[in-house]
Amino acid sequence: MKKTFKKIASQLHLWLGVSSGLVVFIVALTGSVLVFEEELEPVIYPKFHLVEVPQGQSRLPLDNLRATVASTYPKHRIARIEIEPHAGRTVIFSLVKGKKEKDVFSVAVNPYTAEITDTRRENQSFFHVVLQLHRYLCMKDTGKAITGVSCVLFIVIMITGLVLWWPNRKQIKQRFTVKWNAKFKRLNWDLHAVFGFYVLPFTFLIALTGLVWSYKWVNNMIYLTFDGKPQQKREAPANISMANTPSTGILARITTETDRLLPHPGRIQFTLPESDSLSITVSKSNDEASIANVVDFLYFDQNNGHLISKRLYDDETTGMKVRRLVFPIHTGSLWGWPTKVLALIVALITATLPVTGVIIWVGRKFKKEKVVNKNAASHAVRRHAKATVS
């Protein structure tokens, strides 16, 4: 019974691995690149993100920066504004034409001079392409379906791999250590089995959280499990004021009020609605929180800048808090640099598993063919000998 179970596990591990190996390799490799996206963005695009801080000069009001961007690109609508907490960073304006939210044109502005320092199409930026490859293999819905199925298969592969790895008393030392001075075949097996075992808990968690983006029902299960009801749709409330002409200095007023209500450091993002009747959504991350992705939301009247309502992280449902944990767990940003380094190592090792696995498979296949050919040759010799005697 035990041998039959292991044989089934072995066949599943082999053929599921062969069928999904290339996708797992691509997803793991691109995932390792995305781990430090936040830190590498300013390094790859310094002109877009970084500015010199003039001595003794304060930032210009956000309304001045918006006016510069609006006058430079009158045919575009400003959809979002991102403000980093660091003094030497640009303010990023995300522009769209009409309702094409996916085709985002980003404009970087010097907050001290209101000068436009750089622009780019977001769908052409390095990390956007890597993300599209990671999630969709750059094939949109078809790619999403492929990565989703491959992710499910990889979870099964990890479970069957653990079954095959499970040692008896004589194999304990072998299963936990890599014999670095062994021949290539043994070394390759150790790299696959031993390293695969050590990263399995982390890889399993990463794959499991990845299903949230692949399947809507997985995302819904989080809310049903922890809240007992589906996810509630979040929308910006309507403006309270009836003013036809917005007053001046609204964004500066909103920024000041946001920092007063949420004094902790963190990235601020303005979401400006297309409709004049809806309020402005302002989100601010909490860089002082013990975990990543802690974000508070404030809603302001876009005509006068008055606060309409709050949606603070502390008041969120358990389901929403658990859902917010999915991204930092998946990317390794949960506790900052330590977990990011761990996620990088795990992703790189995971990318090697399909490679070492294929080498094991090819080696066994070649060995079987060699044995078959050898047996066939032996039979031929025996037949020839009998014929000669006769």
Domain ranges for the chain, please list them. 2-37+129-227+338-361, 46-124, 230-316
- Which letter does DSSP use for residue 141 in this model? H
E strand intervals along the chain: 77-83, 91-96, 105-109, 116-121, 268-271, 280-285, 295-300, 307-311
- Determine the Cα–Cα distance for residues 174 and 159; give it in Å rounded to an integer: 20
CA angle 252, 256, 258 (to 5 degrees): 115
Instruction: Find, among 85, 74, 128, the residue nearest to 104 by Cα.
Output: 128
Structure token pair of residue 81: 């504004």
- Determine the Cα–Cα distance for residues 89 and 84; give it in Å rounded to an integer: 6
pLDDT at 169: 86
Q: Are strands 307-311 and 105-109 parallel, antiparallel or unpaired?
A: unpaired
- Determine the Cα–Cα distance for residues 343 and 349; give it in Å rounded to an integer: 10
- Determine the Cα–Cα distance for residues 6 and 157; give it in Å rounded to an integer: 13
pTM of the model: 0.91
- Which letter does DSSP use for residue 111 in this model? T
First to last CA, the chain: 48
Instruction: Find, among 131, 81, 75, the residue nearest to 108 by Cα.
Output: 81
Architecture (CATH level 2) of domain 46-124: Roll (3.10)
- Determine the Cα–Cα distance for residues 144 and 146; give it in Å rounded to an integer: 5
* Contacts of residue 72, Cβ cutoff 8 Å, sequence gap at least 6: 107, 116
Residue 290 three-state SS? coil
pLDDT at 27: 98
Instruction: Find, among 304, 312, 311, 310, the residue nearest to 240 by Cα.
Output: 304
Please list the rounded mean pLDDT of every run of 10 residues in the chain (390 residues).
83 95 98 97 98 94 97 97 97 87 90 98 96 97 97 97 92 93 95 97 98 96 96 90 77 97 98 94 98 98 95 97 98 97 98 96 72 53 53
* Contacts of residue 302, Cβ cutoff 8 Å, sequence gap at least 6: 239, 246, 250, 272, 273, 276, 278, 279, 280
Structure token pair of residue 166: 């499970």
Structure token pair of residue 233: 């749709």
Run of H or E residues at 377:
helix 337-389
Q: Angle 337-389/184-214 helices, nearest 10 degrees?
A: 130
- Determine the Cα–Cα distance for residues 254 and 280; give it in Å rounded to an integer: 9
Instruction: Find, among 197, 222, 198, 227, the residue nearest to 208 by Cα.
Output: 222
- Which letter does DSSP use for residue 59 in this model? P
* Contacts of residue 62, Cβ cutoff 8 Å, sequence gap at least 6: 81, 83, 91, 251, 252, 255
- Determine the Cα–Cα distance for residues 172 and 189; give it in Å rounded to an integer: 15
Residue type, 194: V
- Which letter does DSSP use for residue 237 in this model? P
Half-sphere exposure of 355 (CA within 13 A, CB side): 12
